[in-house]
Structure formats: C-alpha cells, structure tokens
Amino acid sequence: MATQPKSNARKSARSEGRASAKASPEQRGKRAQNVARKSASTAAQRPKATQKSLSDLLEHGLKDMYYAEKKIYRALPKMIRKADHPELKRALEEHRAETEGQIQSLETVFELLGKRARGEKCEAIDGILEEGESLLEDFGDSVASDAAIIFSCQAVEHYEITRYGSLRAFAEELGLEEIRDHIDAILAQEKAADGKLNELAEGSINDAASEYDTEEESALA
Ligand SMILES: [Fe+2]
Ligand SMILES: [Fe+2]
C-alpha cells in the first residue's frame, strides 16, 4: 500500500512529461498565458472579497440599528399598556418618544453618509424582542409583571448601548465627527433610559415583585 502513492506520482509525472514533451512551444505558450490569466483574475477577486472595511461595518451597524429602533418603537406600546407602576409607564412613554427622535437622527446620519436610510434585518434584536413578548405572556398578570418588563427593556437598552458604543468609536476612527456626535446623543439617551429602569427596579419594583416570595418565606419560617 505504501508504494501506491509513489507509483501513482511517478505515473502522473511521466504523463505530464509526455504531455509537455508533446506540446509545441506555441501550445506551451498558450498554456502559460491561460495560467497567468487565471491567477490574475483570482488576484483581482481576492482584494474584492476583502475590500470591506470599517466604513462598511459602520454602515452595516447603522442599518441594523435603524431596523432595531423601528422594531423597538413598534414593540413599546404593548409594554406601556402592561406596565402598572405609573413611573415605569411614564419612563417607557418618554423613551418611545426618544426612540422616534433616534430614528430621525439615524436618517440624518445616512444622509450625511450620502446613503439612503435603509434597515437591515437584525436577528439579535428580533430575538430580544421575541423573548420580551413571551415574558409578558408568562408574567404579565403576576406581581412580577413590572419587574419582567424592566428585565426585557434592559436587555434592549444594553444591546443598544453596546452597538452604539461600537458605532461611535467607528465614526471617531473615521473622522466622521458630525456622525459621531449624533451617535453620541443617542447613546446618552440609551444609557439614561437604562439608568432610569435600574432606579425603578431597585427602588420599589423588584421589592413589590418579591411580595409573594416574602410571604412564602415567612410561612416557611
Ligand atoms: Fe434606541
Ligand atoms: Fe433604547
């Protein structure tokens, strides 16, 4: 078995030798030209495939966020309707109004880039919002309803914070100061919204949601 590859190699070397021996100088020249043409076209394709750069990533991320903001804007009314705590309701309403402004802000950013504002389906935000929907179904009628709404909304805010944080850095790197400032303003709103949700959760909402747990604990004591 060990000799098989060797003999095959010898065979193919012999046949190659025969082929090149039989080929006329003209044919050999043609073959060389073909190889050169083929490798030149591969080389031309290679840079094309790797031409994507930070500005493309910025544009891709902006499309993702444009899609995300629109979806968040449409998802918030259900959360607002279900929210019980008046301050939570107000915070979500305010953030929905901010979200509308963020959508417009992103449109301005696209304009500054000379591109048409266009969203790109983002499975990450789809997943986060779907989870929020199912949490509302599971907890919507329980004492933990508001805590569950905050739980979902903070996942959205953190997603937005991480994405806008990266996009801001990309714009900064590319020297796109006006765009960086727009992203910065959005990022500040997302951080403030997250902070407000934290405040509400830790202030009273988590405590209210644990009421039943506390009763159970007392019953066990
Ligand atoms: Fe947002
Ligand atoms: Fe947000």
Distance 33 CA to ligand 2 centre (A): 59
- In whole angstroms, give the CA distance from residue 204 to residue 122: 34
Q: What is the pLDDT of residues 95-132, one digit of tens each?
A: 999 999 999 999 999 999 999 999 999 999 999 999 99
Distance 160 CA to ligand 2 centre (A): 6
- For 137, the 3-state DSSP assignment is helix
- For 13, the 3-state DSSP assignment is helix
Residue 84 DSSP symbol: -
Sketch the domain layout of the chain as residue ranges: 3-50, 54-220
Q: What is the pLDDT of residues 155-206, one digit of tens each?
A: 999 999 999 999 999 999 999 999 999 999 999 999 999 999 999 999 999 9
Average pLDDT over residues 136-149: 94
pTM for the predicted model, two decimal places: 0.75
Rg, Å, the chain Cα set: 30
Distance 164 CA to ligand 1 centre (A): 9
Q: Near ion ligand 2, which residues have CB within 5 Å?
A: 160, 190
In the block, tokens 């006329």 appear at: 24
> What is the reported pLDDT for 40?
47
Q: Are 63 and 119 in contact (CB under 8 A)?
A: yes
Which ligand places an atom closest to the C-alpha of 101?
A: 1
- In whole angstroms, give the CA distance from residue 198 to residue 41: 57
Decide which of 1.20.1260.10, 3.40.50.2300, 1.10.300.10, 1.20.120.1690 is the CATH code for 54-220.
1.20.1260.10
